[in-house]
Amino acid sequence: MEHSSHDFSDLLTGQQQRLYRYIVSLLGNVDAAWDVLQETNRVLLEKRSEFRLGTNFANWALTVAQFQTMAWLRDQKRDRLVATPEMVELLADEAKEMDARETSKSSALTGCLETLSEQHRELVHRRYARSQPLAELSEQTGRSVNALKQLFFRLRQTLMDCIQRRMEAESP
């Protein structure tokens, strides 16, 4: 089925957050993910004539994003990020499956953060929302870097388990 540029634009803009999440999950770097998203959008626009309405746009767009991520990694210095093109190829399908559950994870996270102590919530905020380096947090809190890594590992695990429990409880 043919589509207008307006239809295509609606589909593409509607998937921006999902594409970005997917690329972040593959790359593990939010800044690099913006660059890859930009290139993914450009390629999708260039290839829009290949897309047919009624087929799975999200799946097609995520596949293009996967290839863009691999291409971007091939073009970068290999010591900057943990990810490699070979790894992305292995991760792609599982990342798609995990991403499909992302919306409910987000709402579950709100409640799970409430279960942390105020001090731990603030630490999570500083580390992940404000991207404070471990060394800086170490200086501020008086805890060693290794102790903080141990603490964040535990807090992350607590949050993941809590999210999982809430999602299972909410599923029909």
Partner 1 sequence: MSDSSHARVDVKRVIADALEDARDNPLDPATLASVRQLLLTSAEARRCYLEFNQLNHLLTSHDMPSASIEWDRRPTDAAAASARVGSEHRRRFVARRKQIVAAAVLVATMVLAVYVVIVSRQDGQSLGTSPRVIASLEQFNGNVSVTTAGAETTSVSQVVGIRSGDTVRTRGAFSSAVIAFADGTRLSLVGSSSLTASDDGRKSIVFHGGTMFGSVVAQPPGRPMLVVTPQDKMHVLGTRFGLDATAMETELHVDEGRVRLTRLYDGKSVDVSAGRRVVSNATSDLVAEPIAKTPDAWSEDFENGLPDDWEIGKFVAARLPSGSQGAVRAERDVSTPNGTFAIATQAQWTRGLFAVHDDTHLHFTLAMQDPGWFNILILTRTDDGDPPTFAGNYIFDRPVWFGEPGQWGSVTIPLSLFRSLPPARDAFQNALPFQVLFSSPDKDRSLMIDRMWTARGGPGTVESKVLEETKDAE
Q: Which of residues 72-101 bind partner 1 (CB under 8 A)?
A: 72, 74-75, 79-82, 84, 86-87, 90-91, 94-95, 98-99
In the complex, minimum distance from the CB of residue 2 to partner 1, in angstroms, rounded to a whole number: 14
Residues 6 or more apart in contact with residue 166 via CB below 8 angstroms: 108, 111, 112
In the complex, minimum distance from the CB of residue 57 to partner 1, in angstroms, rounded to a whole number: 15
The reply on whether position 153 binds partner 1 by CB under 8 A is yes
Nearest to 12 by CA among 69, 66, 50, 57: 57
Measured CA to CA, the distance from residue 61 to residue 96 in angstroms comes to 11
What character string, x for contact with partner 1 (CB under 8 A) and - otherwise, covers 29-68? -x---xx-xxx-xxx-xx-----------------x--xx
The reply on whether position 3 binds partner 1 by CB under 8 A is no
CB 85 within 8 A of CB 42: no
The reply on whether position 133 binds partner 1 by CB under 8 A is yes
161: its two tokens: 């388990």
In the complex, minimum distance from the CB of residue 52 to partner 1, in angstroms, rounded to a whole number: 18
CB 95 within 8 A of CB 69: no
Measured CA to CA, the distance from residue 96 to residue 86 in angstroms comes to 17
In the complex, minimum distance from the CB of residue 171 to partner 1, in angstroms, rounded to a whole number: 18
The reply on whether position 156 binds partner 1 by CB under 8 A is yes
